[in-house]
Amino acid sequence: MCATCGCSEGAVIQVFSPGQPGHDHAGHDHAGHDHAGHDHAGHDHAPPARRDGERTIELQQKVLAKNDRLAQLNRDWLRQRGVLAVNLMSSPGAGKTTLLERTAAELAGQVTISVIEGDQAAALDATRISAVGCQVVQINTGTGCHLDAEMVAEGLRVLDPPGGSVVVIENVGNLVCPALFDLGEQARVVLASVTEGDDKPVKYPHMFRQADLVLVTKTDLLPYVNFDTERHASDVKSLSPAAMLLPLSATTGAGMPDWYDWLRGRVPAPLA
């Protein structure tokens, strides 16, 4: 586990209304949503790495246990409001933002989508997604390599999504740490672009083992890259037999209707 895992202190949150520039919420009181009575003072910071393996494991377990408690509170919050949260994960450049741009544009009027955008720095992706009509909260993690449940709690409180809607959590581009941290989401979607090579499930098994859906992206580039689709599919199925595998191109639109059907099929009915 990296040295900063579980440490949400210092994260900067910006809110982007559709088509509008964001404004900085750093320094404002956004202590989390309806978690009264729970400890939200920040994650415990581990001391510098030691050779004592038992001590290291103990600290890692403590960080993950605290995150899991907060994730369950997020899950309860979402269920009570009838909101679907999807954790979108991949390596950098696999096409998460492009996928969201086209999804938001083509499902406008059918599904209400809001986005929690995770990056170490800048707000480039949040600006792109806001431009197609989504409410977006940008979370910059600084040195952190993933979002955690406390950051997502803050993002949900700021977004305040309506019942019957979808919140997509675009996690920091990374095939390692995001897989370790439950955010309270109901579904985990992993993007694997054909430009990355077909060996990623073998190299990063924990990420693919956690997936409910694997989207093979940028399929319009298959004629130009060395990507064995059968090998990739076999490796994914060996790690996560229940996971669905969908090939698509957010550039050409090929395969996008299957993704939309998967998403629509999981949107809860608005609560009465």
**76 lies in a domain?**
yes
Tokens of 237: 């199925």
**210 lies in a domain?**
yes
Residue 63's pLDDT band, with cuts at 50, 70 and 90, is: confident
pLDDT at site 263 = 97
- Domain residues for the domain of 182 are 12-19+56-264
> Mind giving me the DSSP string for 101-165?
HHHHHHSTTTS-EEEEEEESS--HHHHHHHHTT-EEEEEE-TT-SS--HHHHHHHHHHH-PPTT-
Tokens of 113: 């989508």
Q: What is the CATH number of the domain that holds 258?
A: 3.40.50.300
Buried b vs exposed e over 26-62: b needs ≥16 C-beta within 10 Å? Answer: eeeebebbebeeeebeebeebeeeeeeeeeeeebeee
Residue 270's pLDDT band, with cuts at 50, 70 and 90, is: confident
> What does residue 188 show for φ and ψ, rounded to 5 degrees?
-115, 125
Give the separation between CA 86 and CA 80, rounded to whole angstroms. Answer: 16
Give me the chain's average pLDDT, please: 87
The domain tally of the chain equals: 1
Q: What pTM, to 2 d.p., does this model score?
A: 0.83
Q: What is the pLDDT of residues 194-252, one digit of tens each?
A: 999 999 999 999 999 999 999 999 999 999 999 999 999 999 999 999 999 999 999 99
- pLDDT(40) > 90: no
**80 lies in a domain?**
yes
**Helix locations, the chain, DSSP H:** 53-81, 96-106, 124-131, 149-159, 200-203, 205-209, 229-239, 256-264
**51 lies in a domain?**
no
| Three-class SS state of 261 | helix
Q: What is the percent of the chain where pLDDT is above 90? A: 75
**48 lies in a domain?**
no
Give the separation between CA 97 and CA 108, rounded to whole angstroms. Answer: 16
What's the average model confidence in pLDDT over 150-157? 97
**40 lies in a domain?**
no
**25 lies in a domain?**
no
